Amino acid sequence: MNWLISNFDLVVGLTVNHIRLSVVPIIVGFVVAVPLARIAVTGRTARAVIITSTSLLYTIPSLPLFVILPAIIGTKVLSDINLIVALSIYAVAIMVRAAADAFTSVPVDVKQASLAMGYSRWQQFWRVEFPLAGPVLLAGMRVVSVSTIALVSVGVLIGSQNLGYLFTNGKQRNILEEVATGIVASLLIALVFDLILVLLGRLLLPWNRKNGSRSAQADSVRLPITVGDVG
Amino acid sequence: MNLFIDAFAWIFDPANWVAGAQSPLPIQDRLAEHLLYTFVAVLIAALIALPLGFYIGHTGKGRQFVISFTGGMRALPTLGVLFFLTMVLGYSMVSTTANFLGTMIALVLLAIPSILAGAYSGLESVDRQTIDSARASGMTELQILVKVEIPLSLPLIVGGLRSGVLQVIATVVIASYVGLGGLGRIIASGIGLNDYNRILGGAILITALALLVDGVFAVIQRLTATPGVGGPADTGRSAVRRQAQRQPATVGTPNQERE
């Protein structure tokens, strides 16, 4: 524990920065993916185009994406913006698929009933589809959160200051405790974020508590990588 | 777009393909290394994960364990695991061996969850009535597995392999960046030399490789689908599956695929 005690400030600083870098992509993932997914479920063509294109983006390995982005968006190679944009792209890719599954899971007869009761399409979305899709959306967000936090550390290879620094620095100086600290800190952030999401789910989706086992919903999130144009 | 033109010019510059060129060139050597590492790691992972996945999918035992295992693996930062393993092994062997072995273990560990999930969720997606009728017509459990369940679930099994392979390709990029051979070396040396054509050229090569492999697996997934039973795209089929008692499972683990 010696290393950790004498470098505690460094670890805290890197952890804060790690969180800062993770939060934006997670939120962007949700905000961008939900409307995209809602459009995707309107028809076969829309679905094919949106799901296929996002899953293709998802196929690009992270480090290459980090260094390709500057050429497209005009940032500096070592800028944190590359990292945030790349992670947002991955978050959207995971979430679009999950959100499309979420909207598909809303029973058709419930939607028809709401229209028959005189809801407008807009009301139908906000009062029926969105809340009913909530549990599966939540499961998707948990996947997005965990994977984003794990991915941030790769950013150290393009000069970002986050927990990944403990990996490269620990390897260079041959301090195993430093690398292990980085792994544990990263896992802890992921765990805390997951707990926050679950609590948010409890607060916002109170009806979900009785009937749903969370693991069953998490199962129903299938990830874009297996999708392609196959399914 | 000039940057991309320059990067493509770098890729197609014959000087970068001449045998014996200064490391990390020639390109084809790094490409061969990349593919070799990927192949070996996925092969070992498949030898472990497929039988286990078939067992879990056929019997339904240990399912909860696999789900939490897969979820846990997803949270692990690949870079840290890679360094941790190579350093631990480095205490007891030469550093080059430790780097190679540590990386291989990390790659295998990372590929296992997707392949496992593909295998067991593939088997679970098979219609229960089909399995019951196979059993009723006198097939042994092994025959049911080999003649009914595996053929019917091949597209999902291949899907698991597909995400495992892509994840390993992406992780080899990181591994090669930190010393092992492979295409990531090109990006690393580009950053070292401050040569953006080389960085972007390397990144484009890796992206092209990933997309190409993904495309090949997409085709295989199509070809392995049993006619009439339908793949995941078959709406009638998915309606049946939605009513099945067991839920379709998660295939693939996003963060690992990325790194």
User: Which chain B residues are closer than 8 Å to A171 by Cβ?
Assistant: 83, 86-87, 178
Average pLDDT, chain B: 79
Whether A34 and A50 have beta carbons less than 8 Å apart is answered as no
B5-9+34-258 homologous superfamily: MetI-like (1.10.3720.10)
Q: Is A183 on the interface with B (CB under 8 A)?
A: yes
Greater model confidence, B66 or B178: B66
State residue B44's pLDDT score.
94
Is the model's pLDDT at A228 over the cut of 60?
Answer: no
Residue type, A210: K
| pLDDT tens for each residue of A36-76 | 998 888 888 888 888 888 888 888 888 888 888 887 887 77
Cα three-residue angle B244-A127-A89, rounded to 5 degrees:
70
Is the model's pLDDT at A222 over the cut of 60?
Answer: no
Tell me whether residue A231 is in a domain. no
User: Which chain B residues are closer than 8 Å to A58 by Cβ?
Assistant: 254, 257
Among chain A residues, the shortest Cα distance to B76 is held by: A150
State residue B243's pLDDT score.
42
Q: Write the DSSP symbol of residue B122.
A: H
Cα three-residue angle A79-A84-A89, rounded to 5 degrees:
130
Is the model's pLDDT at A193 over the cut of 50?
Answer: yes
- Give residues with Cβ within 8 angstroms of A45, minimum separation 6: none
Query: A30: pLDDT confidence band, cut at 50, 70 and 90?
Result: very high
Count CA within 13 A, CB hemisphere, residue B142. Answer: 0
Mean pLDDT, to the nearest integer, of A146-160? Answer: 88
Phi, psi angles (nearest 5°) of residue A196: -60, -45
State residue B248's pLDDT score.
47
Q: Which two tokens stand for residue A60?
A: 């690009």
State residue A115's pLDDT score.
87
Is the model's pLDDT at A225 over the cut of 50?
Answer: no
Place of tokens 């390109």: B27
Mutate to test the interface with B, among A215, A225, A227, A229 (most CBs of B within 10 A): A225
User: A182-191, A195-204, B83-92: lowest mean pLDDT where?
Assistant: B83-92
User: In a 10 Å sphere around its CB, with 0-12 CB exposed, 13-18 middle and 19+ buried, how is residue A172 labelled?
Assistant: exposed
| pLDDT tens for each residue of B17-27 | 766 666 677 87
State residue B22's pLDDT score.
67
| pLDDT tens for each residue of A101-150 | 889 888 888 888 988 988 888 888 888 889 888 888 998 899 899 989 98
State residue A185's pLDDT score.
93
Place of tokens 């401050």: B194
Is the model's pLDDT at A29 over the cut of 50?
Answer: yes
A 47-106: CB under 8 A from B: 56, 58-65, 67-68, 70-71, 77, 90, 94
CATH code for the domain of A123 = 1.10.3720.10
Is the model's pLDDT at A6 over the cut of 50?
Answer: yes
Q: Which long-range contacts (CB under 8 A, 24 or more apart) does A68-73 make?
A: A68/B200, A68/B203, A68/B204, A68/B207, A70/B196, A71/B3, A71/B4, A71/B7, A71/B196, A71/B200
Greater model confidence, B101 or B252: B101
Q: Could you give the CA distance from residue A101 to residue A106 in angstroms, rounded to a whole number?
A: 9
Is the model's pLDDT at A24 over the cut of 90?
Answer: yes
State residue B257's pLDDT score.
39
Phi, psi angles (nearest 5°) of residue A230: -85, -35
| pLDDT tens for each residue of B129-162 | 888 898 899 888 888 888 888 888 888 899 889 9
State residue A77's pLDDT score.
73
Which has the closest alpha carbon to B42: B215, B246, B213?
Answer: B213
For residue A138, what are the domain limits? 2-226
Q: Write the DSSP symbol of residue B250.
A: P
Which has the closest alpha carbon to A142: A85, A208, A223, A211?
Answer: A223
Instruction: Pick from A45-54, A185-194, B86-95, B98-107 the range whose average pLDDT is largest.
Output: A185-194
Q: Which ipTM score applies to this complex?
A: 0.79
Is the model's pLDDT at B10 over the cut of 80?
Answer: no
| Nearest chain B Cα distance for residue A182, angstroms | 7
Average pLDDT, chain A: 84
State residue A226's pLDDT score.
36
| pLDDT tens for each residue of B166-221 | 888 888 888 876 677 788 888 888 877 877 788 888 888 888 888 898 889 889 98
User: Which chain A residues are closer than 8 Å to B255 by Cβ?
Assistant: 146-148, 150-151
State residue A14's pLDDT score.
92
Instruction: Mark out the alpha helices in chain B (DSSP H runs).
Output: 2-12, 27-59, 63-75, 78-90, 95-124, 128-136, 141-143, 150-177, 184-193, 196-224, 235-243, 254-258
Is the model's pLDDT at A230 over the cut of 50?
Answer: no
State residue A211's pLDDT score.
52
Written in H, E and C, the secondary structure of chain A is: CHHHHHCHHHHHHHHHHHHHHHHHHHHHHHHHHHHHHHHHCCCHHHHHHHHHHHHHHHHCCHHHHHHHHHHHHCCCCCCHHHHHHHHHHHHHHHHHHHHHHHHHCCCHHHHHHHHHCCCCHHHHHHHHHHHHHHHHHHHHHHHHHHHHHHHHHHHHHHCCCCCHHHHHHHHHCCCHHHHHHHHHHHHHHHHHHHHHHHHHHHHHCCCHHHHCCHHHHHHCCCCHHHCCCCC
User: Which chain B residues are closer than 8 Å to A90 by Cβ?
Assistant: 254, 258
Query: A160: pLDDT confidence band, cut at 50, 70 and 90?
Result: confident
User: Which chain B residues are closer than 8 Å to A183 by Cβ?
Assistant: 76-77, 80-81, 84
What 3-state class would DSSP assign to B238? helix
Residue type, A85: V
Which has the closest alpha carbon to A156: B77, B20, B109?
Answer: B77
A147 vs B173: CB contact, 8 Å cut-off? no
Residues making up chain B, counted from first to last: 259
Tell me whether residue A31 is in a domain. yes
Which has the closest alpha carbon to A141: A187, A183, A91?
Answer: A91
Greater model confidence, B244 or B73: B73
Structural domain count of chain A = 1
